[in-house]
Structure 1
């Protein structure tokens, strides 16, 4: 698997699984009716932030990540990232590879830590992955997320020092 900088032309491959994941309403705090154009603007970040894609041996986009500062100004020394893996390719290490890539990017870019502001507590695969890579749950916003099947569930704030 290759992880490379995303280009505008990649959006056509990202959008189908991005849309599926967002419309399901189970893991992201994005509006479930986000349009293709809105999604592109929210996901394909301009420099100095970054968006990357993971591609398989056939060159197909199987996942993507966006990396950015968590806050501006005096909080800009903490990075953040978000990940989406095409559900047709889940369980194959794509998410782990993307997460490891973003942690390495943040460290190389001089960030002191990495923080995820809104990890849905019922997204157990993501929570377990992040924990395995050194992230800790700092706290949970009770009922901070309205899950379409499970009702109001917590949102974890997860953090790791780089």
Structure 2
């Protein structure tokens, strides 16, 4: 599949909001529990170090990620990312392309490491991908995520040098 990965543009926001909200509403991987609207999405995506879209051959947004510091100040050299792939396009290696691109862009932005703070233990596809791409699980946090069902699930912390 031919994908173009580039920083988002304002005209991408409607598709980005749709994809992001699909993941939020699923309630099994993102910490957010409130969908984005046009105003909150514009502010949210603009506040990141970078927000990148994956566009298919027709120029449609099929995935995106946000890149930003994991913390601030003396810990600001560690990046964090969140990824979202359009529901009907999952399983097509779009997520892999997003992660690989984020590693490159994080390095170019001066980050030294990339860390995921809350990978839900039931997110098996993401866990397998992160491990294939050289991330190490450095911890498990019991009952750190509240799923849409109300069930509490453990999360992993994954980290990788850039």
Per the normalisation by structure 2, the TM-score is: 0.91
CA offset at residue 160 of structure 1?
0.5
**Which of 3, 6, 25 is the aligned partner of 2:5?**
3
CA distance in 1, matches of 2:86, 2:25: 14
| Native 8 Å contact 2:51 2:67 kept in 1 | yes
CA distance in 1, matches of 2:121, 2:69: 23
Aligned to 1:70: 70
CA offset at residue 58 of structure 1?
0.9
Aligned to 2:30: 28
1:23-45 Cα deviation digits (max 9, x unpaired): 121111002x3341334433x13
**Gap change, CA 1:100 and 1:155, over 3 Å in 2:** same
SS of 1:96's partner is helix
Aligned to 2:97: 97
CA offset at residue 46 of structure 1?
3.5
Aligned-residue CA RMSD in angstroms?
1.5
**Gap change, CA 1:129 and 1:150, over 3 Å in 2:** farther
CA distance in 1, matches of 2:160, 2:126: 15
Between 1:141-150 and 1:3-12, the stretch displaced more is 141-150
Aligned length: 159
SS of 1:64's partner is strand
| Native 8 Å contact 2:17 2:36 kept in 1 | no
Deviant stretches of 4+, over 4 Å? none
CA offset at residue 17 of structure 1?
2.0
1:116-152 Cα deviation digits (max 9, x unpaired): 1111111111111111111111111101112234821
Per the normalisation by structure 1, the TM-score is: 0.91
| Native 8 Å contact 1:83 1:98 kept in 2 | yes
Aligned to 2:140: 140
CA distance in 2, matches of 1:124, 1:108: 29
